[in-house]
């Protein structure tokens, strides 16, 4: 269960040095914050020299604090003409500052340094600062070339859950005597799991316990002259004399060319195109329809919001991370001139008595900010909604509704607009099968790449990576036996001259109502498992109206007339879902290899499973594609590039397309 996040308290000593009352220690040396960062962490890790001319370089930090180490690293990267293409900075923080306190703290640092470049970076960091909720937050700067991944929570808990390959480690935080947990052996053991070859570290501390914990975890250290009033500091590298980990940290996929075929141009596929293009990939997008978003992604509107649960379940944590990341990506589309059509006034969730009690307990337990979610009475909810409601519930100020098709088009357009973009879109092409090209000769494509054939048997594309983002057809096209998905028929209803014309925000509960232009209200939707009939049914309209009328009494008149022989507008789409209601995101398992080695793999964990080289999936998003698609695309792009994963590894395992293969192995059902 996620612990409540307690923000830091900002205080200053008489000499102006930021101070933590909780730990009784300063945030940086009185001799200067930026100077300490540059001397201890940059110089101590031989930066910027070590990142020069590399594609990706990753820094891992224990204790983000005020973010000065990040700003110093970002500034050095900016000033280096031979800098790496993409800089990743990953940091943990148990007590993050509020945005306002962070601005104050960084303003003091900037004033002391009198560096205009640092002021610009400090403003950018504060502007992008995430909401203080537990979990992993990914922020992007410099057009995505500098990425900050913040893990809010106790480092003892969150650090072992991160998955990355660190090139440099900044051991920072309050003094070992003040915060011994951050310098304990479990922390260094977690660092050893993710340290890459030639990974270096630096720290201002030279305490004996720190030196012993470093050695025990496979690091070798050297004492050097310290900064300011510190006599000595430690630098060193990861150089284990024995095996200290079961799995090697992630590496980029080995390809002659970074070229991917994405099958499906709905929410999942269009997000993948944008995330891969942002990293310079050549992408071939194949869609069987004549335009994007013609299946479930083609509904007139869809709602987006987090998921609150009393135990902060895995689904809640994944959805929360996806919600915040989606908002970031949509804001970036807005800024780039590719704004999708969406609402900005929030979303109301009306609850039954049992739901209200559970959510109220969760809100009290986790102490979420009102800007994230807040409980509302019926009277408060009605004031927000602009219409009468049957009960209260809770309000998501950042939730709302979006036109999914406009989002898909925006992402594809943004990808095509990138400098040097290589995006080839093939509409009207139905993928029938793929096969591995096992030729030995070297061609324009990597030998052993995947060949994609249409339903007429013609070769339509070939690449080292194929990503299935085509919902119901993914398992068939990828020839998967252990990727069980089901179709769920969803019929929605469009109410013209709607009695809910005054509705200001989307309202959800046992059904949903979304205000559309021209006094139209979208209500829905039915949930009919294993029903693939896409014709509109009068009974479906009746069901939608009756269910939503229980939440919004203004529809009572229509409910009474819902059995009349009148034609209503609507749409039917088929959702693709799994038995655990979580999507399939990541590299596909090699089922044939698993069968051959089933006995040994009966106790396998996800990282133990054999994988099919170059095949990935992003499907079975059910009704949460809007909040999962961008995060799923970022996860797959990170896996391909060997970058830090955007969410905790344990959550990724819940999304793993091979999780059902793993279950079958454990049940010896192969």
Half-sphere exposure (Cβ direction) of 623: Cα atoms closer than 13 Å: 20
Beta-bridged to residue 209, according to DSSP, are none
Residues 6+ apart with CB under 8 A from 16: 108, 112
Q: What is the pLDDT of residue 444?
A: 41
Average pLDDT over residues 91-95: 96
What does the DSSP assignment read for 507-536?
EEESEEEEEETTTEEEEE---EET----S-
Q: What is the pLDDT of residue 445?
A: 41
**Closest listed residue to residue 508, CA positions, set 520, 524, 528:** 524
Domain ranges of the chain: 24-238, 259-295+405-479+600-647
Reduced to 3 states (helix: H, G, I; strand: E, B; else coil), residue 457 is: coil
Surface-to-core class of residue 261, CB atoms within 10 Å of its CB (0-12 exposed, 13-18 middle, 19+ buried): buried
Q: Kindly report, residue by residue over 51-69, the tens digit of the pLDDT.
A: 999 999 999 999 999 999 9
What pLDDT score was predicted for residue 2?
A: 62
Identify the band that residue 208 occupies on the pLDDT scale cut at 50, 70 and 90: very high
For residue range 111-167, list pLDDT tens digits in order. 888 788 899 999 999 999 999 999 999 999 999 999 999 999 999 999 999 999 999
Task: Kindly state the average pLDDT of the residues 626-631.
Answer: 98
Task: Among 16-20, 258-262, 635-639, name the one with the lowest average pLDDT.
Answer: 16-20
Q: Which tens digits make up the pLDDT trace of 478-493?
A: 888 998 899 999 999 9
Query: Can you give the pLDDT at residue 324?
Result: 97
381-398 tens-digit pLDDT? 999 999 999 999 999 999
pLDDT score of 302 more than 70: yes
Q: Check residue 442 and give its pLDDT.
A: 42
Average of pLDDT values for 205-233?
94
Say whether pLDDT at 228 is over 90: no
Cα 388 to the center of its chain, rounded Å: 36
Cα four-point dihedral sign 536, 540, 542, 548: negative
CB 584 within 8 A of CB 486: no
Residue 497 token pair: 């001259």
pLDDT value of residue 363: 85
**Can you tell me whether residue 6 is helix, strand or coil?**
coil
DSSP conformation letters of 561-606: HTTSS---EEEEEEEEEETTS--EEEEEE-HHHHHHTTTGGGG--G
Tens digit of each residue's pLDDT (9 = 90 or more) over 487-533: 999 999 999 988 999 999 999 999 999 999 999 999 999 999 999 99
Name the CATH superfamily, with its identifier, for domain 259-295+405-479+600-647.
Answer: FAD/NAD(P)-binding domain (3.50.50.60)
What mean pLDDT is predicted for residues 565-574? 86
What pLDDT shows up at residue 443? 45
CATH topology of domain 24-238: Rossmann fold (3.40.50)
Task: Pull the structure tokens for residue 661.
Answer: 């293969």
pLDDT score for 17: 87
Q: Is the pLDDT of residue 36 over 60?
A: yes
Residue 562: is its pLDDT beyond 80?
no
User: What would the pLDDT profile of 400-441 be if each residue is shown by its tens digit?
Assistant: 999 999 999 999 999 999 999 999 999 999 999 999 987 644
Q: How far apart are the first and last CA of the chain?
A: 34
State residue 388's pLDDT score: 95
Chain segment 571-622, per-residue pLDDT in tens: 999 999 999 999 999 999 999 999 999 999 999 999 999 999 999 999 999 9
In this predicted structure, the answer to whether residue 563 has a pLDDT above a threshold of 90 is no
Would you list the DSSP string of 271-323?
HHHHHHHTTT-EEEEEESSSSS--SGGGSS-EEE-----TT--HHHHHHHHHH
* Predicted local distance difference test score (pLDDT) of residue 439: 62
Q: Which region among 11-15, 266-270, 637-641 has the lowest average model confidence (pLDDT)?
A: 11-15
Omega before 142 cis (within 30°)? Answer: no
């Amino acid at each position: 269960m996620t612990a409540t996040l307690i923000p830091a308290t900002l205080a200053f000593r008489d000499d102006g040095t930021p101070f933590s009352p909780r730990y009784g220690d300063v945030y940086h040396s009185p001799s200067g914050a930026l100077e300490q960062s540059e001397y201890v962490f940059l110089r101590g890790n031989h930066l910027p020299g070590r990142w020069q001319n590399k594609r990706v370089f990753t820094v891992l930090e224990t204790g983000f604090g005020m973010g000065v180490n990040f700003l110093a690293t970002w500034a050095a990267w900016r000033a280096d003409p031979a800098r790496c293409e993409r800089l990743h900075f990953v940091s943990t923080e148990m007590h993050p500052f509020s945005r306002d306190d962070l601005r104050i703290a960084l303003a003091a640092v900037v004033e002391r340094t009198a560096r205009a470049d640092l002021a610009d970076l400090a403003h950018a960091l504060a502007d992008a600062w995430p909401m203080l909720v537990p979990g992993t937050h990914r922020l992007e700067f410099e057009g995505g070339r500098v990425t900050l991944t913040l893990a809010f929570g106790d480092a003892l808990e969150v650090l072992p859950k991160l998955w990355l390959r660190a090139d440099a480690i900044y051991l920072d935080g309050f003094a070992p005597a003040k915060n011994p947990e951050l310098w304990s052996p479990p922390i260094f053991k977690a660092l050893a799991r993710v340290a890459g070859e030639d990974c270096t570290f630096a720290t201002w501390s030279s305490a004996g316990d720190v030196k012993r914990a470093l050695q025990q975890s496979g690091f070798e250290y050297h004492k050097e002259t310290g900064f300011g009033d510190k006599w000595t500091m430690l630098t060193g590298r990861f150089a284990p004399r024995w095996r200290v980990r079961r799995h090697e940290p992630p590496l980029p996929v080995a390809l002659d060319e970074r070229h991917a075929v994405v099958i499906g141009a709905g929410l999942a596929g269009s997000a993948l195109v944008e995330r891969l293009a942002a990293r310079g990939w050549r992408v071939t997008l194949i869609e069987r329809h004549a335009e994007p978003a013609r299946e479930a992604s083609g509904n007139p509107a869809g709602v987006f919001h987090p998921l609150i649960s009393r135990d902060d379940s895995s689904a809640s944590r994944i959805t929360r991370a996806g919600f915040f990341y989606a908002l970031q990506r949509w804001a970036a589309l807005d800024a780039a001139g590719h704004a999708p059509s969406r609402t900005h006034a929030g979303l109301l969730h009306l609850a039954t008595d049992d739901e209200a009690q559970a959510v109220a307990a969760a809100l009290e337990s986790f102490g979420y900010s009102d800007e994230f979610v807040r409980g509302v009475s019926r009277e408060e909810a009605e004031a927000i909604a602009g219409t009468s409601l049957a009960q209260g519930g809770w309000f998501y100020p950042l939730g709302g509704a979006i036109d999914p098709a406009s989002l898909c088009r925006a992402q594809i357009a943004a990808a095509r607009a990138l400098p040097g973009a290589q995006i080839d879109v093939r509409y009207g092409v139905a993928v029938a099968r793929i096969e591995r090209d096992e030729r030995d000769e070297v061609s324009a494509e990597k030998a052993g790449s995947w060949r994609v054939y249409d339903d007429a048997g013609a070769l339509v594309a070939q690449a080292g990576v194929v990503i299935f983002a085509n919902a119901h057809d993914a398992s068939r096209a990828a020839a998967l036996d252990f990727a069980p998905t089901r179709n769920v028929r969803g019929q929605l209803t469009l109410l013209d001259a709607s009695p809910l014309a005054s509705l200001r925000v989307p309202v959800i509960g046992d059904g949903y109502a979304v205000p559309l232009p021209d006094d139209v209200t979208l209500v829905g939707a039915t949930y009919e498992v294993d029903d693939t009939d896409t014709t509109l049914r009068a009974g479906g309209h009746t069901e939608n109206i009756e269910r939503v009328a229980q939440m919004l009494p203004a529809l009572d008149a229509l409910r009474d007339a819902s059995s009349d022989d009148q034609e209503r507008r609507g749409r039917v789409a088929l959702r693709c879902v799994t038995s655990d209601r979580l999507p399939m995101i990541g590299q596909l398992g090699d089922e044939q290899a698993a069968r051959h080695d089933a006995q040994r793999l009966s106790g396998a964990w996800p990282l133990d499973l054999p994988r099919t080289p170059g095949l990935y999936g992003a499907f079975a998003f059910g009704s949460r594609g809007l909040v999962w698609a961008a995060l799923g695309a970022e996860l797959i792009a990170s896996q391909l590039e060997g970058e830090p994963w955007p969410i905790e590894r344990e959550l990724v395992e819940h999304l793993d397309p091979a999780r059902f293969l793993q279950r079958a192995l454990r049940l010896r059902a192969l």
